[in-house]
Amino acid sequence: MMRTRILAVLFTCLSLAGSALAADTETKAPAGAAPAGEVTKTGTVGVKPTTAPADVVAVLYTADLDYKLLAGEDIAKKLEELAKKMAKVQVTGVVTGDKLKVSQVAEVGAKATDKADTKDKKDAKDAKADRKKKKKDQTQ
């Protein structure tokens, strides 16, 4: 009987000490992580269905669920532009059921097209065509 009581007291003390240690340890989010309560999802953004409520701006198609995106005016415009081209995006916001209130949006894998890059590609293509033409002239 005494042994059972000692074991019960010992068990209680150890469990209380463990929970106190767990409460003292602080977990820090990595730099650039979403604020507490927000999640970051990646997927393809599409135009909202005609049957969607008025507050829905677009739909995010992910592997686990299709989210109805809600956003403020500036982010809504950006989402609508991205939805037209079915862009792959990363959105951050608060999830409630199948709705996601977007606070940030960024296109994933977006290529910055620059006039200089386009000109360089055209020049390279023209140079290749000139070389082919010279080679053809030499063989004749």
CA-to-CA distance for 58 and 139, rounded, in angstroms?
Answer: 59
26 found inside a domain: no
Tokens of 84: 């037209």
Residue range(s) defining the domain that contains residue 82: 39-107
- Which residues, 6 or more positions from 33, have their beta carbon under 8 angstroms from its beta carbon? 40
5 found inside a domain: no
Using the predicted structure, report yes or no on whether residue 96 has a pLDDT greater than 80.
yes
Q: Work out the mean pLDDT of the chain and round it to a whole number.
A: 77
46 found inside a domain: yes
114 found inside a domain: no
103 found inside a domain: yes
| pTM of the entire predicted model | 0.55
CA-to-CA distance for 46 and 27, rounded, in angstroms?
Answer: 36
Using the predicted structure, report yes or no on whether residue 28 has a pLDDT greater than 50.
no
pLDDT band at 129 (very low <50, low <70, confident <90, very high): confident
Q: What is the mean pLDDT of residues 85-104?
A: 94
For residue 99, give the CATH number of its domain: 2.40.50.430
| More confident: 138 or 98 | 98
| More confident: 104 or 27 | 104
- How many structural domains compose the chain? 1
